[in-house]
Chain A
Amino acid sequence: KQEVTQIPAALSVPEGENLVLNCSFTDSAIYNLQWFRQDPGKGLTSLLLIQSSQREQTSGRLNASLDKSSGRSTLYIAASQPGDSATYLCAVFYTGANSKLTFGKGITLSVRP
């Protein structure tokens, strides 16, 4: 079964800390992996998209990496701020028939001032 796992479910850090959010997936046959941010009760904001042929993508203080062989992706947030507090979701687009975007349950991040 093609699944996406994000552990831990919640994380609390002090402001200014550099942090890493982890995502694991069960099948290396993927088209791409996308990281999203979701504020409470809101829609999803796309942060970074990594194609299967890429190893990492960067946008501002965010850096996402992809290791297909180990089935892992990480989202690195530099110099965290209280405004980064949100739920971060990882989603994988698997290849194959009936392929679809498969989401993890997300990591709820709280950055303390």
Chain B
Amino acid sequence: ETGVTQSPTHLIKTRGQQVTLRCSSQSGHNTVSWYQQALGQGPQFIFQYYREEENGRGNFPPRFSGLQFPNYSSELNVNALELDDSALYLCASSLQGIHHEQYFGPGTRLTVT
């Protein structure tokens, strides 16, 4: 059974640029959630996707958007990057809806300069 994977591991971008982060869910999982974790803080929920539809969103602006594909992998897109977007971005997958146990990937460290 393959766990949750994320790419890239690290990324450095300039303010104003756009970035795409990728996540492959654990085999058989149909729900993917994205979180932002600033240094010294707990992860903050960005949004979740269930069967390719956005199914819940946290307090993040529209420049944070996402997709889920038929194989349940997912992308997180962030436009017009700001310095405060620098964080660890975590993807989590679960089975049959987000209420089940969440399995997290290793994260993507994004630095915005």
- A interface with B by C-beta (< 8 Å): 4, 31-32, 34, 36, 41-46, 49, 89, 91, 93, 98-106
B66 within 8 Å of A (CB atoms): no
Question: Measured between C-beta atoms, what is the minimum distance from B95 to chain A in Å?
Answer: 12
Q: Which of A4, A34, A99 contacts B101 (CB 8 A)?
A: A34
Interface pairs A-B: 5 shortest CB-CB: A103-B42, A44-B104, A43-B106, A100-B45, A49-B101
Contact at A44–B56, with CB atoms within 8 Å?
A: no
Closest to B45 in A: A100
Q: Which of A32, A45, A49, A102 contacts B45 (CB 8 A)?
A: A102
Q: Knowing A98-B56, A100-B56 touch, does A44 contact B43 (C-beta < 8 A)?
A: yes
Which of A36, A41, A99, A100 has most chain B Cβ within 10 Å?
A: A100
Contact at B56–A104, with CB atoms within 8 Å?
A: no
The interface residues of chain B lying within 8 Å CB-to-CB of A99 are 56, 98
The interface residues of chain A lying within 8 Å CB-to-CB of B104 are 36, 43-46
Q: Knowing A42-B106, A98-B56 touch, does A32 contact B99 (C-beta < 8 A)?
A: yes
Can you list 27 contacts pairing A with B, beta carbon distance less than 8 Å?
A32-B101, A36-B104, A41-B109, A42-B106, A42-B107, A43-B6, A43-B105, A43-B106, A44-B90, A45-B104, A46-B101, A49-B101, A89-B43, A91-B43, A93-B98, A93-B99, A98-B56, A99-B98, A100-B33, A100-B48, A101-B33, A101-B45, A101-B98, A101-B102, A103-B42, A105-B42, A106-B42
- B interface with A by C-beta (< 8 Å): 4, 6, 33, 35, 40-45, 48, 56-58, 88, 90, 92, 98-99, 101-107, 109
